[in-house]
Amino acid sequence: MATVTFEPGGTTVDVHEGENLLRAAIAADVQITASCGGDGTCGKCRMLVEHGSVESRPSSRLTDEDAEKGYVLACLSAVRGDVRVTVPAESRPSHAPAPGSGNRRVPNALLSAEEHVARVPHDPSEPPVTARVLSLTAPDLANNCSDLARVRHALRREYGINDAAISLETLRALPDVARAKGWTVTAIMAEPGDATPAICGLRPGDTSDRQFAIAVDVGTTTIEAALIDLFASETMGQSAEYSDQIALGEDVITRVIAGSTAEGLEDLRRRAVTTIGRITERLCAEHGVSHDEITSYVAAGNTVMTHLLLGISPANIRTAPYVPVAATFPWTNAVESGLPGGPGTQLVTLPCPASWLGGDIVAGVLAAGIPWSDKLTLFVDIGTNGEIVLGSKDWLAACSCSAGPAFEGRGITHGMRAAEGAVELVRVDTETLEPMLLTIGSAKPLGICGSGLVDCISELFLCGALNRDGTFQRHDGSRIRERERGAEYVLVWAEESGTGSDIVINETDIENLMRAKAAIHAGIDVLLETVDVEPDAIEEVVVAGGFGHYLDIERVMTLGMLPELPAERFQFIGNGSLFGARLAAKSRGLLARAQRVADMMTYVELSVNASFMDMYVSSLFLPHTDLHRFPRTEALYSQRATIRTVG
Ligand code: FES
Encode pLDDT of 195-240 as tens digits: 889 999 999 999 999 999 999 999 998 999 999 999 888 899 999 9
Write the DSSP assignment of 449-469 as a string of letters: -HHHHHHHHHHHHHTT-B-TT
The helix (H) or strand (E) run that includes residue 437 is: strand 435-439
Q: What is the pLDDT of residue 93?
A: 75
What number of other Cβ atoms are within 10 A of residue 319's Cβ?
A: 9
Percentage of the chain exceeding pLDDT 90? 71
State if residue 34 touches ligand 1 by the CB under 6 angstroms criterion: yes
**Ligand 1: centre distance to CA 33 (Å):** 8
**Ligand 1: centre distance to CA 85 (Å):** 16
| Distance separating alpha carbons of residues 388 and 533, to the nearest angstrom | 15
Percentage of the chain exceeding pLDDT 70? 94
pTM: 0.86
| Distance separating alpha carbons of residues 221 and 252, to the nearest angstrom | 9
Least Cα distance to 166 among 132, 201, 135 occurs for: 201
Q: Of all atoms in ligand 1, which is nearest to the CA of residue 437?
A: 4
Q: Of all atoms in ligand 1, which is nearest to the CA of residue 496?
A: 2
For 604-612, which contacts have Cβ atoms below 8 Å and span 24 or more sequence positions?
604/397, 604/398, 604/399, 604/526, 604/527, 604/530, 605/322, 605/356, 605/399, 606/399, 606/400, 606/401, 606/522, 606/523, 606/526, 609/526, 611/525, 611/526, 611/529, 612/401, 612/522, 612/523, 612/526
Of 21, 73, 438, 492, the residue with max ligand 1 atoms within 8 A of its CB, to mutate for a pocket test, comes to: 73
Angle at which helices 262-287 and 303-310 cross, to 10°: 90
| Cα dihedral sign, 221-227-230-234 | negative
State if residue 36 touches ligand 1 by the CB under 6 angstroms criterion: yes
State if residue 62 touches ligand 1 by the CB under 6 angstroms criterion: no
| Distance separating alpha carbons of residues 168 and 332, to the nearest angstrom | 14
Residue 497 has pLDDT above 90, yes or no: yes
State if residue 353 touches ligand 1 by the CB under 6 angstroms criterion: no
State if residue 44 touches ligand 1 by the CB under 6 angstroms criterion: yes
**Ligand 1: centre distance to CA 48 (Å):** 14
Instruction: Specify the amino acid at residue 94.
Output: S
State if residue 42 touches ligand 1 by the CB under 6 angstroms criterion: yes
| Distance separating alpha carbons of residues 222 and 440, to the nearest angstrom | 17
**Ligand 1: centre distance to CA 25 (Å):** 12
Q: What is the 8-class DSSP label of residue 136?
A: P
Of 21, 31, 33, 36, the residue with max ligand 1 atoms within 8 A of its CB, to mutate for a pocket test, comes to: 36
Q: Are 201 and 170 in contact (CB under 8 A)?
A: yes
State if residue 127 touches ligand 1 by the CB under 6 angstroms criterion: no
* Maximum distance among all Cα pairs of the chain, rounded to whole angstroms: 100
Strands 11-15, 103-105: pairing is parallel
Q: What is the pLDDT of residue 97?
A: 46
Question: Residue 402 forms beta bridges with which residues?
Answer: 385
**Ligand 1: centre distance to CA 472 (Å):** 28
Q: What is the pLDDT of residue 113?
A: 55
pLDDT band at 32 (very low <50, low <70, confident <90, very high): confident
Q: What is the pLDDT of residue 110?
A: 62
State pLDDT tens for residues 61-89. Answer: 899 899 899 999 999 999 999 999 999 98
Q: Are 421 and 440 in contact (CB under 8 A)?
A: yes
Q: What is the pLDDT of residue 89?
A: 86
The helix (H) or strand (E) run that includes residue 72 is: strand 71-73
Residue 100 has pLDDT above 60, yes or no: no
Q: Are 582 and 612 in contact (CB under 8 A)?
A: no
SS3 per-residue string spanning 565-617:
CCHHHEEEEECHHHHHHHHHHHCHHHHHHHHHHHHHEEECCHHHCCCHHHHHH
**Ligand 1: centre distance to CA 251 (Å):** 37
Q: Name the phi and psi angles at 483, rounded to 5.
A: -130, 170
Q: Of all atoms in ligand 1, which is nearest to the CA of residue 34?
A: 4
Q: What is the pLDDT of residue 277?
A: 98
Residue 447 has pLDDT above 90, yes or no: yes
Q: What is the pLDDT of residue 320?
A: 86
State if residue 435 touches ligand 1 by the CB under 6 angstroms criterion: no
**Ligand 1: centre distance to CA 434 (Å):** 14
pLDDT band at 179 (very low <50, low <70, confident <90, very high): very high
Q: What is the pLDDT of residue 212?
A: 97
Q: What average pLDDT score do residues 140-169 get?
A: 95
**Ligand 1: centre distance to CA 643 (Å):** 25
**Ligand 1: centre distance to CA 437 (Å):** 9
Q: What is the pLDDT of residue 99?
A: 42
Residue 476 has pLDDT above 70, yes or no: no
Q: What average pLDDT score do residues 25-53 get?
A: 88
pLDDT band at 485 (very low <50, low <70, confident <90, very high): confident
Q: Are 14 and 20 in contact (CB under 8 A)?
A: no
Q: What is the pLDDT of residue 642?
A: 66
Residue 458 has pLDDT above 90, yes or no: yes
pLDDT band at 385 (very low <50, low <70, confident <90, very high): confident
State if residue 73 touches ligand 1 by the CB under 6 angstroms criterion: yes
**Ligand 1: centre distance to CA 75 (Å):** 5
Q: What is the pLDDT of residue 196?
A: 86
Of 39, 57, 59, 439, the residue with max ligand 1 atoms within 8 A of its CB, to mutate for a pocket test, comes to: 39
The helix (H) or strand (E) run that includes residue 200 is: strand 198-204
pLDDT band at 523 (very low <50, low <70, confident <90, very high): very high
Instruction: Specify the amino acid at residue 535.
Output: P
State if residue 38 touches ligand 1 by the CB under 6 angstroms criterion: yes
Task: Indicate the length of the chain as a whole number.
Answer: 647
Q: Of all atoms in ligand 1, which is nearest to the CA of residue 76?
A: 1
| Cα dihedral sign, 274-275-276-278 | positive
Residue-wise burial string across 594-609, b where 16 or more C-beta atoms lie within 10 A, e elsewhere: bbebbebbebbbbeeb
What are the angstrom distances between the C-alpha of 345 and each of 129, 217, 264, 585?
8, 18, 26, 13
**Ligand 1: centre distance to CA 458 (Å):** 23
Angle at which helices 147-159 and 168-180 cross, to 10°: 80
Q: Are 28 and 13 in contact (CB under 8 A)?
A: yes
| Distance separating alpha carbons of residues 97 and 89, to the nearest angstrom | 11
What are the angstrom distances between the C-alpha of 436 and each of 13, 31, 303, 459, 462?
17, 7, 40, 11, 15
Residue 105 has pLDDT above 60, yes or no: no
**Ligand 1: centre distance to CA 80 (Å):** 19
User: Residue 644: exposed, middle, or buried by beta-carbon count in 10 A (0-12, 13-18, 19+)?
Assistant: middle
| Distance separating alpha carbons of residues 61 and 73, to the nearest angstrom | 8
Across 101-105, 254-258, 579-583, least confident range: 101-105
Q: Are 423 and 438 in contact (CB under 8 A)?
A: yes
Q: What is the pLDDT of residue 98?
A: 46
State if residue 255 touches ligand 1 by the CB under 6 angstroms criterion: no
Q: What average pLDDT score do residues 463-473 get?
A: 92
Across 41-50, 90-99, 384-393, 526-535, least confident range: 90-99
State if residue 43 touches ligand 1 by the CB under 6 angstroms criterion: yes
Q: Of all atoms in ligand 1, which is nearest to the CA of residue 75?
A: 1
Across 7-11, 169-173, 591-595, least confident range: 7-11
Residue 117 has pLDDT above 80, yes or no: no
Alpha carbon 257 to chain centroid, angstroms: 27
State pLDDT tens for residues 322-376. Answer: 899 999 999 999 999 999 999 999 999 999 999 999 999 999 999 999 999 999 9
Average pLDDT, the chain: 91
Q: What average pLDDT score do residues 264-269 get?
A: 97
pLDDT band at 384 (very low <50, low <70, confident <90, very high): confident
Q: What is the pLDDT of residue 124?
A: 67
Provide the H-helix boundaries in 28-146.
64-69, 113-119
State if residue 444 touches ligand 1 by the CB under 6 angstroms criterion: no
